[in-house]
Structure 1
Amino acid sequence: MEDRNSIPELTSFQRDLLYVIAGLSEPYGVAVKDELEAYYDKQIHAGRLYPGLDTLVNKRLVQKDEVDGRTNAYNLTDRGRRELTARREWMDQYLGEIAGE
């Protein structure tokens, strides 16, 4: 049975991973890590990063593809895109005025 609307079940860190993956043209693990370190202004350890990415893969929000023996690429699945779109619509109903709409 497929989870329905699994984004609310994610931690804020896992949601941030999903947002970063959606925005990167080359979403490799290290690129995702670099983006989050810049946003959080602190080091993100592999012990936090990769389990978070694995959760997104297990929830079928992200697909993990091996690029070479050491590098993986993470891309949104169709489900991940649908979930992000639904999340954005939900947020927009509350934040629309802030965004100048």
Structure 2
Amino acid sequence: MTPPVFAHGSLRLYLLALLDEQPRHGYELIQALSDRFGGTYSPSAGTIYPRLSKLEEEGLVTKSADGRKTVYEITDAGRAELEARRHELDAIEDEVTDSVRRLADGVRAEVDEAMRSLRAELASAAREAKRAAKSATTATMNLSSESNRALHEAELAINEFRQQLRTDLRTHAHRGRVSPESVTLLKARLAQVRADVLATLAER
């Protein structure tokens, strides 16, 4: 499990510091934290909003509607707590920077390993495509010239699609973006493409 970037109670203080600069929406607070740490730390809404609710319960921030968004603003009580703990902010920033650096190093190592694996997969796919193309050429020598060229082009297109999609899926998988819904959609679309192609073959 990845350790928390902020120690217990530190994120609360940092949110007060950001709201002391100006009132912000929840998303703006997330963006401000991401910008503050060079994009290496971007908290989720599930991390930020419960803490904002807690600060509101304690009277340290207030919220108001701005269209569909909610704006959070520090109160006098919030400023008083912030001033009382102002000396802790520099230490928190140093602590978070170190924590983020460790996380970034871990992510970098994972990406490097993923890239090595991906290069090996691509090399293997290229060899497989070359063998498949050679085999297809040999197997279709007795077909008519037009049919032979069409089959060859179709197999090259299938292999190219396979390589490209595998690369895309692996890239997004390392970002946590490949979902079961994506796989279901892929299967459905591939089945439909196959059915459409078979229909055109049956017409000839």
TM-score in same-fold range (> 0.5): yes
Off by >3 Å, runs of 4+ in structure 1: none
Offset of residue 78 of structure 1: 1.2
Q: Would you say the 8 A contact 2:13–2:82 is kept in 1?
A: no
**1:50 and 2:77 matched:** no
Q: 1:61 aligns to what?
A: 60
What one-letter code is carried by the residue in structure 2 that aligns with 1:49? I
Deviation at residue 39 of structure 1 after TM alignment: 2.5
State the aligned residue count.
Answer: 80
TM-score computed with the length of structure 1 as normaliser: 0.69
- Sequence identity, in percent? 30
Match of 2:13 among 12, 15, 26: 15
- How far apart, in 1, do the equivalents of 2:12 and 2:41 lie? 16
Q: 2:81 aligns with which of 72, 80, 83?
A: 83
Match of 2:25 among 24, 28, 38: 28
* Structure 1 stretch displaced more, 50-59 or 40-49: 40-49
What root-mean-square deviation, in Å, do the aligned CA atoms of Structure 1 and Structure 2 show? 2.0
Task: Give the TM-score taking structure 2 as reference length.
Answer: 0.36
Cα distance in 2, alignment partners of residues 82 and 43 from structure 1: 27
Aligned-partner Cα distance in 2 for 1:33–1:84: 19
Larger Rg: 2
In structure 2, the residue corresponding to 1:42 is in which secondary structure? coil
Q: Per the alignment, in what secondary structure is the counterpart of residue 59 of structure 2? A: coil
Distance, in Å, in 2 between the alignment partners of 1:39 and 1:55 is 23
Q: How far did residue 51 of structure 1 move?
A: 0.6
Whose RCO is larger (CA < 8 A, sep 6+)?
Answer: 1
Measured against aligned partners, the alpha-carbon deviations of 1:13-71 in whole angstroms (never above 9, x if no partner) come to 111111111113x41211111011122422211110101111111111000111122x1
Q: 2:34 aligns with which of 30, 33, 37?
A: 37
Provide, for residues 65-84 of structure 1, a one-character-per-residue CA deviation record: whole Å limited to 9, x for no partner: 11122x11111111111111
Tell me the amino acid that sits aligned with residue 24 of structure 2.
P
Q: Which runs of 5+ in 2 are unaligned?
A: 1-7, 92-204
